[in-house]
Structure 1
Amino acid sequence: MVRLLRPFGRAVTYTRWLHLFIAVVAPSLLLFVREAWWIWLIAAAVLAPAALVPAMRTVEGLQARLLLTGHRHDSGSTGIVVAPSASWGDRGRLVVWLESRLLLGYVTMTVSAQLVFATADLVAAPFGRDVEEGGPFLLDGHHWWHALLVPVWLLGLGVFVLVAGHVITALALRLLGPSPVERLAALEERTEQLLERTRIARELHDSIGHALTLAVVQAGAARAAGDPAFTDRALDAIEETGRAALEDLERVLGVLRESERPVSSRPTLADADRLLESARASGTKVDASMTGPLETVPGPVSREGYRILQESLTNVLRHADCAPARVRVAVADGTLTLEVRNPLTGHIPGPGRGSGLRGIRERAALLGGHARTGPDRGDWQVHVELPLS
C-alpha cells in the first residue's frame, strides 16, 4: 500500500500536472472572452511556426526538464536537451511536441475540472444541493451515501494526474531528447573524456612510479654502501627525482582542476638524459646510444617515447636488481626505434603482466606503432617502433 501511495507524495507528480495546465493557459483565457471551439484550432496553428524558431527548443527543454524531471541542470540522466534546434528534424519533432502537449493539456484540463466539479457535487448532494446539469455524473436525490463516493472520485483524479504525468514525460523524452547526431556527439565527448582519464592515469603511473622506484633503490643502495659520500649523492638524486615527480603531479592535477588552463609542457626525448642520469645514480650501469635527428621527432611521438623509456628503465630498476641496461634510441627512415635490454634475472614477468608493460603497448598502438616486450636471447627487452608521420 505504501508503495502504491508513494507517487502521490512526490512533488514531480504535481509539477507534471502544472506543466500540462501551462500549455492551455492562453487558449483558456481567450475562452473567457468568447467561448468558441475554433480558439483551439487557432492555438494549434500558432504553435507550428513558433516551433521553427531554434530558441523555442531551449525554452521547452528547460521547462520540461524542471517540471517533468525535477532537474534544473542536465545531470546526464534526464534525457532532455536544451540546445537550440540545429536541423529540420529537430524542428519537426518540436512541432509534434507542442501540438501533442496542447492536446494532452486540453484533455487534462477538461477531465480534471470535471472530476473536481463532480466531487464537489457529491459532497453537497446530502445537504440538499441539487447536482448541476451538464456534469459528467448525475445522481438523483439527496442521499447521505453520495458522500461515500467522494474518495472514489478523488482517487480517480489522482490516478489520472499520475498517468497524464507519465505520458507527457514519455513524450518529452522522445521528442525533446537528443537527436542521433547529438547522441553521437555526446558519445564522442564521453569517449574523449575516458581516453583523457586513461592518459592521466598512465601519466601518474609512469612518472610517480618511476620516482618512487628510484627513491627506494637509492635509499637501499645508500644503506647498503655505508659510505657518507655515496649517501649524499643518493639523497641528491632522490631530491631531484622527487622534485621532477612533483612537477609532473602538479601538471596532471592542473589538467584535472581546470581543463582550459594552460599547463607546462610534457617532457620529450630531448629530456631523456635526465632519465638516464637518474638510473645511473641508482647504481645501474646504463649504456645509451641515441642516433638520428631527435629534434625532428613530432611532439606527440617524442612525448610518448619519453614515457616509454621512463617505464622501461623503471622496470629495470624494479625487477632486474639494477642489472646493466642497454638503451638504443634511433630515428631513421621515418621511424623512431626505442629499445631497452637487460640481462634476465630470476624474476621473469610474463609478456602480458603489469600495467606498465600494458601501458607501453597501448601508447605504441595509439600512435600507429607496435611494441614487443619479453625474453629475447637471454635478455629482457622492450622494443618499440613508432612512425613519425
Structure 2
Amino acid sequence: MIKSVRPLLRGSTYSGALFAYCGALASLPLLPVAMLPALAWPSAPYGVQLVLILLLWAALIGVAGLARPTRRVLIASARRLLRVPLPDPVAARQPANSPEIGPSPAAPAPAADRWRTPLWLLLHVALGWTGALVSGMLLLAGLTLPLGAEAGLSLFGRSVWVVGGWQSWAVALGCVLLAAVVCVVVANTLRWLAPRLLGPSSAERLALAAERELALAERNRLAQELHDSIGHTLTATTIQAAVAGEVLSADPVAARAALRSIEESARAALEDLDYVLGVLREQESETAPTRTLADLPELLDRLRHAGAVVEPELSGELTQVQGTLSRAAYRILQEGLTNALRHGAGGPIEVRVAAAPGTLELSVVNRTGAGTSPGTGTGRGAFPTSGHGLPGLAERVRLLHGEIEAGPVGPQHWRLAVRLPVRLSA
C-alpha cells in the first residue's frame, strides 16, 4: 500500500507534470497561425474546420521540433524536471582527425532519427493538454464541492448526485487524489518516452563511441609520452647526480655541468607533466611541449653530462622530417637511450638516424652485461623498470605503420632498430 502511494509524494512526479503542462502552454503561440485557414474558409462545416486546425497545429509543432536548438532545450529541461539522465546531443559523425588514427568520414544521420524530436514534441503537447484538462477539472471539482456545489454522474441510465454533507468532502478528496494520479501517469509516460525519443540515436551512439575511443587513445598516448619523458629524466638525473657527487671535489666544473643538466632535464619534464595533467583533468592547458628530431642534440648532450659516451651517426635531410613522425622519432630514440642508460654495461652508445626518400631508420646499440637485457632491471645502475618501455615503443611504431626489432646482437650488445615510412617534404 505504501509503495503504491509513494509516487504521489515524490517531487519529481509534479515537476514532470509541470514539464508536460509547460509544453502544452508553449504550443499556444502556434494556435493562432493554425486557425488562419479556418478563418479564411468560414463556410466549411465546424467539424472540418476543427480537424483542419488540429492538423495544421500538429504540423507546426512538428516543424518546430526539427530545429537543433529545440532538441537541446528539451534535453536540458527533461534532465532537470523529469530527472532522466540524458547526454547532450552530438553530431552524427566521428570527432576530428587523429594524427595517428587518420581521417574519419562523416556519417549522416538516418532520416528516422531526424523525426524523433518532432514526435516527442507532439506526444509531449498531447499529454500536456490531456493531463492539464483532466487534472484541472478534477481539482476544480475538489475545490468547489465542499463549498456547496452539486456534482452528478450518470452511468447506464442511473444517476448519482452529491449535494453537500460529508459525501461532498469524500468526493472532493477523491477528485484531488485522481488529479494526483493523472500527474503520476503523465510524468511517468514522459519519463519512459524521454530516453527513447530524446536519448542518443543509433548514429549519435556511434559518434559517442568514436569519441570515447579517441579519448582513450589520446589518454594512452599521453601516458606513453609521460612514461618516455619522466622515465628518461629520472634515469638521466640519477646518473648525473651520481657523477656530480663523484667529481664534486676533483672537478667542480664537471660537477656544475652535471647539476645544470639535471636542472634543464627536470624543467623539460615538468613542462611535459603540467601539460599531461592539464589534459587528464580536462582543463585548458598550454600548447603541448613538442620534442622533435631538432631537439636530439640537446638530448645527447644531457646523456654526455650523465657520463655516457654517445656516438651519433646522422645522415639525410633530418630537417625535412616534420610533424607527428618527427615527434615520434624523438620519443623512440629517447626511450632507446633511456634503456641503454638503465641496462647498459658502460661503453659507447651508438645512435644512428638516417633519413632517405620513403624511410626513416633509427637505431640504438649499447653494450650489455652478462644476462642483462632491457626490462630485467639489472646492469648499470640497477634501475627498476615498469616493463612498459618496449611494448609502448612497439605500439607507437605500429600506429605509424613501421617496423621494430629489439634484441641482443652478439654476446655483449643490445640493438633497437626502427624503420618508419616517411614522405619528405619538398
TM-score over 0.5 for the pair: yes
Q: Distance in 1 between matches of 2:265 and 2:315?
A: 26
Task: Select the residue among 111, 125, 131 that pairs with 2:151.
Answer: 131
Bigger Cα displacement from structure 2, 6-15 vs 310-319: 6-15
Instruction: Identify unmatched segments of 5+ residues in structure 1.
Output: 31-35
Determine whether 1:97 maps to 2:120.
Answer: yes
Q: Do structure 1's residue 78 and structure 2's residue 86 form an aligned pair?
A: yes
Q: Distance between the aligned counterparts of 2:24 and 2:142, measured in 1?
A: 23
Q: Compute the displacement of 1:178 (Å).
A: 3.6
The answer (yes or no) to whether the contact 1:210–1:310 under 8 Å persists in 2 is yes
- For residues 150-207 of structure 1, what are the alpha-carbon distances to aligned partners after superposition, in whole Å with 9 as ceiling and x for unaligned? 6655444334322321222332332233443333333333333333333233222222
- Structure 1-normalised TM-score? 0.78
2:63 alignment partner, SS class: coil
Q: What CA distance in whole angstroms lies between the structure 2 residues aligned with 1:220 and 1:267?
A: 26
Deviating more after overlay: 331-340 vs 350-359: 350-359
Shift of 1:78: 1.4
Deviations 1:204-237 (A, max 9, x none): 2222322222111111222244534232221122
**Structure 2 match to 1:385:** 419
Decide which of 279, 292, 305 is 2:303's aligned counterpart.
279
CA-atom RMSD, angstroms? 4.0
Residues 350 and 234 of structure 1: CA distance in aligned 2, closer, same or farther (over 3 Å): closer
Distance (whole Å) between structure 1 residues aligned to residue 30 and residue 399 of structure 2: 62
Distance (Å, rounded) in 2 between the aligned partners of 1:202 and 1:71: 43
Q: TM-score, normalised by structure 2?
A: 0.72
2:56 maps to a residue whose letter is A
User: Aligned in 2, Cα 1:95/1:232: closer, same or farther, shift over 3 Å?
Assistant: closer
- SS of the residue aligned with 1:52? helix
**1:214 alignment partner in structure 2:** 236
| Cα displacement (A) at 1:294 | 1.6
In structure 2, the CA distance between the partners of 1:82 and 1:112, relative to structure 1 (3 Å rule), is farther
- Give the one of 349, 365, 371 matched to 2:398: 365
What amino acid does structure 2 have at the position aligned with 1:189? E
- Give me the whole-angstrom Cα distance separating, in 1, the residues matched to 2:240 and 2:16: 67
Native 8 Å contact 2:316 2:354 kept in 1: yes
Matched residue SS, 1:327? strand
Measured in 2, the distance between the counterparts of 1:71 and 1:273 equals 61
Residue 54 to residue 96, structure 1, CA distance change in 2 (3 Å): closer
> Are 1:21 and 2:21 matched, yes or no?
yes
- Secondary structure, in 3 states, of the residue corresponding to 1:101? helix
Pairing of 1:1-389 with structure 2 (within 5 A): 11-25=11-25, 26=28, 39=50, 42-52=53-63, 56-62=67-73, 64-70=74-80, 77-79=85-87, 81=89, 88-120=111-143, 124=146, 129-132=149-152, 138=160, 140=162, 144=166, 147=169, 153-226=175-248, 227-229=250-252, 230-249=254-273, 257-258=283-284, 263=287, 266-320=290-344, 324-332=348-356, 334-345=358-369, 346-350=371-375, 354-378=387-411, 379-389=413-423
Cα deviations by residue, 1:78-102 (Å, 9 ceiling, x for unpaired): 1463989987545433332232223
Letter in 2 for 1:278: R
Cα offset, 1:312, TM superposition: 1.4
Label 1:206 to 1:27 Cα distance change in 2 as closer, same or farther (>3 A). closer
Q: Measure, in 1, the Cα distance between the counterparts of 2:410 and 2:52.
A: 86
Q: Which has the higher contact order (CA 8 A, sep 6+)?
A: 2
CA contact (8 A) 1:329 1:339 kept: yes
Determine the structure 1 residue equivalent to 2:381: none
How far, CA to CA, are the matches of 1:356 and 1:6 in structure 2? 58
Instruction: Report the residue type matching 1:196 in the other structure.
Output: E
CA distance in 1, matches of 2:132, 2:30: 10
Count of residues paired in the alignment? 375
Give how far 1:280 is off.
1.7
Q: Which amino acid aligns with 2:420?
A: L
1:329–1:338 contact (8 Å) kept in structure 2:
yes
In 1, distance between residues paired with 2:3 and 2:240? 64
Instruction: Give the stretch that moved more between structures: 302-311 or 237-246.
Output: 237-246
CA distance in 1, matches of 2:335, 2:365: 13
Contact kept, 8 Å, 1:61 with 1:176, in 2: the verdict is: no
| Contact kept in structure 2, 1:12 and 1:68, CA below 8 Å | no
Pairwise CA distance, 1:322: 5.1
Asked if structure 1 preserves the Cα contact closer than 8 Å seen for 2:406 and 2:415, the reply is: yes
